[in-house]
């Protein structure tokens, strides 16, 4: 059995049953569902019946006791039909047939529901109380608003009540015998001619009846048709009520709704029908019928973007929630209208909504106006908040700020909140307050004001020039106010000042210029001249003005002078040398500049600037003579001479130098010195980049002397040379350097001996490399076996022997690694990498390696970095830099019995670049080194004394390897020491700083894992 309470689909079907029907629950004492026909038969309204309990319904009250017991025990599965007689709510005697049936059985566990259907009632005449005819007539006559008439079937009036005189102005005899339609409005008369429209048993008509004086009154007329025995119409009784006032009110309401563009609607949630007023239909462009069976037509008119939102609002309304929504519809022609809808809910006693009543207002114009206001507000704010001008509103009396645009902050340093409420005079430059007040007082009655310029004081104390346009307006409170727009003209004032200053400067330049300055017209006649032209030529100003320049110019230079003057007349500035004749007859050599005077894009004259170059020309001749002699001298010496600029590029080379280097003198000019001076180290390797001693000397601006250096020619051959570099200084500023070198190759034996030594050294290096590799292989095996042996069960003596064996093996392996590194360096197989490294992390990790050893010896091991000069990140080879540091710190701890070992880092940066020189020092308080043996420190396989070797051990390769690694990195290494006074080993390498944004660094420790 279908559950009616859970299926909304059945409710509309229930409402359309042709008989009266009610669905009740005796268990919950509630009326579940009721159709309109049921209400009509009982003569009560739905809202009235819904407030009652099921047993209070007239239907159940009229049942027999037996039938009521069957219903209450749900014994109506096969149906129950009862004849019931009762009196309706309006006093009518009624007889109906009621049929009861069970829709759900309690045996099925469902709520039992009783369906009651009633047939059309038979109306019995209720007994009327006896009333006399004259009393009834008096009662009818008292009804001044009702018009009672009797007419025949054709509409001829046979009787009219006396109220016709009061209501229509007609006497009874004036209306009797005439057709009803004669007294109606022409439009209504035409309608009455249609079938069924003259009168009707079921329909009520609202029509206009003409008053005797010609105006019309609205009447609501209902009819009762009296038929004869055979069903023919014999009489028509009409009762018409004057509803003119109600109609006027309705029309007024409709007109008000039309003016306000407000329409009303009603939604019966029981029948699902919607009723719309005329105005709301007009708003919708008559896309809605007066009554719609559902809300689909309503939704179809809504624009797509708002449809979903309106559907949600409808669902909310169905649930009984009052609400308001603004949405858009589209009417015929594509016009979009904006509506505001509101409603309230009517509900049953148990809270279930049964009806919605609401209104919809066309707010299209208001919406457009609001939108335009928003747009105007946006534009206004856009102008005021983004304008570079300072916009303000002030009172007239003391110029108090009422409004300030945000630009006041960028212009004056004050926020709008700081200015509003204060007087503008508080921020005006003191000297300008008086003129400003006088200006405002003077222009108070003027509508259009001329701009005024004055100075405002900035928050930081400086003054700013403003040009202000003002206008007087009347504010909302009726008081006059000042609207002003102030523009910063400080730059314009500055330009005006500059122009004035320029004029003064021009006058000063003209009058006091040490050069001769003058102007000429297009004919070459002097117009103006300063005192120096008078001094230069010997002619007075009176003599020069109006004079043609030709007689002053030497004859040999006159054609050239005329050519250049004509070029200047055509708009082309000219500069040239010539000779003039002084008034006393001696010649003077001058340089002249002719500049066209252009006014409105037309040349109107020529400026001239002239200076005496007689002495300069004599000096130039002397310089040329000295230059020839110097060139001759440089070209004849046997030494090579190279002039270098500040960037190390060749500016000059003499023939001897070009010849020694195998270069063409013209080809090397402008090239970098490292491209033509190819210097190698003592080990035969080339310097990398710009790290040669020559480059370092040029970079640091220091003198340099190098002896017995091998230089390579362009063709690949080499020669021994001595060279000296000295910086060139000019008035305290370094301009470059000069390099002087000479070939010291005396004989081929020296070269052959050098080459033989190189071959022997190469053979030695290769042998050491091979030997180291051959020894490392079995040594690794021995070390492995020792480690395995230590894992076995050993007694104390055996374990001691094993530790000694492992320590000796590690020492031997360390020696082999040193020899192998040395061999790689000697053979040129050691490569130097470049990558960003964190200097502090590197130094800290190296020191951490030796903390335990230093503590074991009771030494203090510390390190520090100059925070002002050493950057966080540099570019270098972290592995080789670490190797050098390990060697130096290891030696320092080894040769220090008490005291401390200190590691420090400093740097010197090249001005304007990221390039720098990093210097690291390792200082100890150890045994020190005698001065006469310090030169042996960095030699391969060299110990200072056999006794030291026996005591401290070592191969003598550590410092040699460190020296070669530092040199491979382009740096230098050295020592400062005194015997028994400790030592400081230091090295410097060129590098460059790396900014944090240029690289993403990995911690330096990870580079060695």
| pLDDT, mean of residues 619-647 | 82
User: Would 586 be classed as within a structural domain?
Assistant: yes
Residue 859, classed as helix, strand or coil, is: coil
> What does the block give as tokens for 651?
């500016």
Same domain, 150 and 216: yes
User: Would 159 be classed as within a structural domain?
Assistant: yes
Q: Which helix (H) or strand (E) holds 321?
A: none
CA angle 341, 343, 344 (to 5 degrees): 170
Same domain, 979 and 873: yes
Give yes or no for residue 681 having a pLDDT over 80. no
The residue behind tokens 């001996």 is: 753
Q: Give me Rg for the CA atoms of the chain.
A: 60
Phi, psi angles (nearest 5°) of residue 602: -135, 135
367 Rama class: left (phi>0) / alpha (psi -120 to 50) / beta: alpha
Residue 766, classed as helix, strand or coil, is: helix
User: Would 678 be classed as within a structural domain?
Assistant: yes
User: Would 397 be classed as within a structural domain?
Assistant: yes
Same domain, 55 and 158: no
Q: Indicate the angle between helix axes 958-968 and 796-826, nearest 10 degrees.
A: 40
β-strand pairing of 20-25 with 704-712 = unpaired
CA 770 to chain centre: 66
- How confident is the model at residue 401, as a pLDDT? 92
Q: Please say whether the beta carbons of 587 and 554 come within 8 A.
A: yes
Q: Indicate the angle between helix axes 839-857 and 878-894, nearest 10 degrees.
A: 20
- How confident is the model at residue 980, as a pLDDT? 87
**Average pLDDT, whole number, for the chain?**
81
Same domain, 946 and 852: yes
Residue ranges in 460-530 assigned as alpha helix (H): 490-512
Same domain, 349 and 297: yes
In whole angstroms, how far apart are CA 874 and each of 655, 883, 887, 891?
42, 17, 21, 26
**Measured distance CA(868)–CA(866) in Å, rounded:** 6
The residue behind tokens 């990221």 is: 914
Q: Choose the final residue of a domain: 336, 369, 402.
A: 369
Q: Which residue has the higher pLDDT, 528 or 97?
A: 528
Same domain, 316 and 414: no
Q: Print the domain residue range for 268.
A: 260-369
Least confident piece of the model among 149-158, 320-329, 800-809: 800-809
Give the pLDDT confidence of 56-87 residue by residue, as tens digits: 665 666 677 788 888 878 777 777 888 777 66
Same domain, 113 and 147: no
- How confident is the model at residue 783, as a pLDDT? 75
**Measured distance CA(743)–CA(124) in Å, rounded:** 152
Give yes or no for residue 384 having a pLDDT over 70. no
Q: Which helix (H) or strand (E) holds 157?
A: strand 157-160
Q: Which residue has the higher pLDDT, 102 or 405?
A: 405
Question: In CATH, what number is assigned to the domain containing residue 956?
Answer: 3.30.565.10
Give yes or no for residue 125 having a pLDDT over 50. no
Give the pLDDT confidence of 853-871 residue by residue, as tens digits: 899 999 999 999 999 999 9
Q: Rounded to two decimals, what is the model's pTM?
A: 0.30
**10 Cβ partners below 8 Å, 6+ apart?**
2, 4
- How confident is the model at residue 27, as a pLDDT? 76
> What does the block give as tokens for 405?
């645009």
| pLDDT, mean of residues 239-267 | 78
> What does the block give as tokens for 280?
């709301």
| pLDDT, mean of residues 344-349 | 74
Give yes or no for residue 22 having a pLDDT over 70. yes
| pLDDT, mean of residues 201-213 | 88
Q: Please say whether the beta carbons of 937 and 961 come within 8 A.
A: no
Same domain, 668 and 721: yes
Same domain, 119 and 142: no
Question: In CATH, what number is assigned to the domain containing residue 728?
Answer: 3.30.450.20
User: Would 626 be classed as within a structural domain?
Assistant: no
CA angle 986, 987, 992 (to 5 degrees): 135
- How confident is the model at residue 583, as a pLDDT? 92
Within 10 Å of residue 198's Cβ, how many Cβ atoms?
Answer: 19
Q: Which residue has the higher pLDDT, 70 or 214?
A: 214
What percent of the chain stands above pLDDT 90? 24
- How confident is the model at residue 132, as a pLDDT? 47
pLDDT confidence bin for 716, thresholds 50/70/90: confident
**Measured distance CA(131)–CA(983) in Å, rounded:** 147
Burial of 335 (0-12, 13-18, 19+ CB in 10 A): exposed
Q: Choose the final residue of a domain: 494, 525, 551.
A: 494
User: Would 623 be classed as within a structural domain?
Assistant: no
- How confident is the model at residue 700, as a pLDDT? 86
- How confident is the model at residue 577, as a pLDDT? 93
The residue behind tokens 């592995």 is: 879
| pLDDT, mean of residues 741-769 | 68
- How confident is the model at residue 285, as a pLDDT? 86
Same domain, 878 and 999: yes
Give yes or no for residue 940 having a pLDDT over 70. no
Give the pLDDT confidence of 431-451 residue by residue, as tens digits: 999 998 888 888 877 766 788
Q: Which helix (H) or strand (E) holds 359?
A: strand 353-362
User: Would 251 be classed as within a structural domain?
Assistant: no
Percent helix, strand, coil in the chain (nearest 5)?
40, 30, 30
| pLDDT, mean of residues 673-694 | 77
Q: Choose the final residue of a domain: 214, 242, 270.
A: 242
pLDDT confidence bin for 1002, thresholds 50/70/90: very low
Give yes or no for residue 761 having a pLDDT over 60. yes
Domain count, the chain: 7
Residue 90, classed as helix, strand or coil, is: coil
User: Would 649 be classed as within a structural domain?
Assistant: yes
Q: Which helix (H) or strand (E) holds 561?
A: helix 558-569
Q: Which of 198-202, 348-352, 836-840 has the highest mean pLDDT?
A: 836-840
What percent of the chain stands above pLDDT 70? 82
Residue 866, classed as helix, strand or coil, is: coil
Q: Which residue has the higher pLDDT, 224 or 579?
A: 579
Same domain, 528 and 484: no
| pLDDT, mean of residues 137-154 | 70
Burial of 610 (0-12, 13-18, 19+ CB in 10 A): buried
**Measured distance CA(599)–CA(530) in Å, rounded:** 22
Beta bridge partners of 328: 338
pLDDT confidence bin for 430, thresholds 50/70/90: very high
Residue 111, classed as helix, strand or coil, is: coil
Same domain, 278 and 205: no
Q: Which of 127-131, 406-410, 776-780, 995-999 has the highest mean pLDDT?
A: 406-410
Strand 640-645: give its sheet, edge to edge: 650-653, 640-645, 733-743, 718-730, 704-712, 678-679
CA dihedral 293, 298, 301, 303 (to 10 degrees): -140
């Amino acid at each position: 059995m279908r559950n009616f309470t859970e299926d909304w689909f059945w409710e509309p079907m229930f409402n359309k049953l042709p008989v009266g029907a009610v669905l009740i629950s005796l268990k919950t004492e509630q009326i579940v569902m009721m159709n309109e026909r049921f209400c009509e038969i009982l003569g009560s309204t739905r809202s009235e019946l819904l407030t009652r309990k099921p047993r209070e319904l007239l239907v159940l009250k009229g049942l027999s006791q037996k039938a009521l017991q069957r219903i209450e025990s749900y014994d109506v599965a096969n149906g129950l039909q009862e004849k019931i007689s009762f009196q309706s709510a309006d006093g009518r005697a009624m007889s109906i047939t009621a049929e009861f049936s069970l829709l759900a059985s309690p045996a099925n566990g469902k709520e039992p529901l009783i369906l009651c259907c009633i047939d059309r009632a038979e109306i019995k005449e209720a007994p009327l109380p006896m009333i006399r005819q004259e009393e009834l007539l008096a009662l009818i006559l008292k009804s001044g608003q009702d018009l009672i008439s009797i007419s025949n079937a054709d509409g001829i009036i046979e009787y009219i009540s006396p109220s016709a005189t009061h209501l229509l102005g007609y006497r009874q005899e004036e209306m009797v015998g005439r057709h009803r339609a004669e007294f109606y409005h022409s439009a209504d008369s035409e309608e009455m001619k249609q079938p069924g429209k003259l009168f009707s048993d079921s329909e009520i008509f609202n029509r206009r009846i003409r008053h005797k004086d010609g105006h019309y009154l609205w009447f609501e007329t209902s009819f009762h048709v009296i038929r004869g025995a055979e069903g023919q119409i014999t009489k028509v009784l009409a009762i018409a009520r004057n509803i003119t006032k109600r109609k006027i009110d309705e029309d007024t309401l409709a007109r008000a709704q039309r003016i306000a563009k407000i329409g009303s609607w009603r939604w019966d949630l029981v029948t699902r029908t919607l009723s719309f007023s005329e105005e709301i239909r007009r708003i919708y462009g008559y896309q809605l019928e007066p009554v719609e069976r559902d809300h689909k037509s309503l939704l179809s008119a809504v624009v797509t973007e708002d449809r979903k939102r309106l559907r949600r609002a409808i669902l909310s309304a169905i649930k009984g929630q009052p609400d308001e929504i603004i949405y858009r519809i589209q009417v015929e022609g594509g016009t979009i209208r904006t509506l505001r809808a509101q409603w309230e809910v009517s509900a049953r006693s148990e809270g279930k909504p049964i009806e919605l009543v609401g209104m919809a207002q066309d707010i299209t114009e208001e919406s457009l106006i609001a939108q335009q206001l928003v747009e105007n507000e946006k534009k206004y704010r856009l102008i005021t908040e983004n304008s570079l001008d300072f916009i303000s509103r002030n009172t007239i009396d003391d110029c108090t700020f009422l409004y300030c645009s945000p630009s006041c902050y960028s212009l004056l340093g004050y926020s709008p909140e700081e200015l509003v409420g204060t007087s503008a005079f508080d921020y005006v430059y003191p000297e300008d307050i008086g003129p400003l007040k006088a200006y405002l007082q003077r222009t108070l009655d003027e509508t259009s004001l001329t701009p005024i310029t004055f100075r405002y004081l900035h928050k930081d104390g400086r003054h700013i020039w403003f040009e202000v346009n003002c206008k007087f307006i009347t504010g909302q409170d009726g008081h006059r106010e000042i609207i002003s727009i102030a523009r910063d003209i400080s730059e314009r004032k500055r330009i005006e000042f500059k122009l004035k200053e320029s004029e003064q400067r021009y006058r000063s330049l003209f009058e006091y210029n040490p050069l001769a300055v003058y102007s000429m017209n297009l004919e070459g006649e002097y117009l103006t001249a300063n005192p120096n032209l008078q001094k230069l030529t010997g002619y007075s100003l009176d003599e020069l003005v109006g004079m043609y320049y030709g007689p002053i110019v030497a004859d040999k230079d006159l054609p050239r002078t005329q050519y250049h003057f004509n070029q200047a007349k055509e708009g082309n500035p000219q500069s040239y040398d010539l000779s003039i004749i002084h008034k006393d007859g001696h010649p003077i050599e001058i340089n002249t500049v002719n500049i066209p005077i252009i006014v409105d894009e037309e040349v109107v004259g020529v400026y001239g600037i002239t200076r005496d170059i007689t002495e300069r020309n004599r000096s130039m001749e002397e310089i040329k003579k000295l230059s020839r002699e110097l060139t001759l001298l440089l070209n004849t010496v046997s030494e090579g001479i190279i002039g270098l600029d500040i960037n190390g590029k060749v500016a000059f080379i003499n023939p001897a130098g070009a010849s020694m280097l195998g270069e063409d003198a013209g080809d090397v000019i402008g090239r970098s010195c490292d491209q033509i001076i190819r210097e190698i180290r003592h080990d035969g390797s080339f310097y990398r980049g710009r790290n040669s001693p020559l480059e370092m000397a040029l970079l640091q601006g220091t003198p340099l002397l190098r002896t017995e250096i091998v230089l390579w020619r362009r063709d690949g051959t080499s020669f021994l040379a001595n060279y000296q570099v000295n910086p060139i200084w000019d008035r305290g500023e370094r301009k470059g350097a000069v390099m002087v070198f000479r070939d010291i190759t005396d004989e081929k034996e020296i070269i052959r001996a050098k080459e033989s030594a190189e071959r022997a050294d190469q053979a030695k290096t290769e042998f050491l490399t091979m030997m180291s590799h051959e020894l490392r292989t079995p040594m690794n095996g021995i070390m492995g076996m020792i480690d395995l042996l230590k894992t076995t069960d050993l007694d104390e003596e055996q374990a001691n022997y094993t530790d000694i064996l492992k320590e000796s093996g590690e020492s031997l392996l360390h020696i082999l690694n040193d020899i192998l590194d040395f061999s790689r360096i000697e053979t040129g197989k050691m490569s130097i990498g470049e990558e960003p490294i964190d200097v502090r992390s590197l130094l800290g990790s190296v020191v951490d390696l030796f903390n335990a050893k230093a503590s074991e010896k009771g030494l203090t091991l510390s390190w520090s970095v100059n925070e002002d000069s050493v950057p966080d990140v540099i570019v270098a080879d972290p592995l080789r830099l670490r190797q050098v540091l390990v060697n130096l710190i290891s030696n320092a701890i080894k040769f220090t019995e008490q005291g401390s070992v200190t590691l420090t880092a400093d740097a010197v940066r090249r001005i304007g670049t990221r390039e720098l020189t990093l210097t690291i020092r390792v200082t100890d308080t150890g045994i020190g080194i005698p001065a006469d043996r310090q030169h042996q420190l960095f030699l391969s396989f060299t110990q200072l004394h056999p006794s030291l070797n026996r005591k401290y051990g070592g191969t003598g390769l550590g410092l040699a390897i460190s020296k070669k690694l530092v040199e491979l990195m382009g740096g230098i290494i050295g020592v400062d020491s005194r015997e028994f006074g400790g030592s400081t080993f230091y090295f410097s390498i060129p590098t460059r700083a790396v900014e944090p944004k240029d690289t993403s660094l990995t911690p330096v420790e990870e580079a060695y894992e």
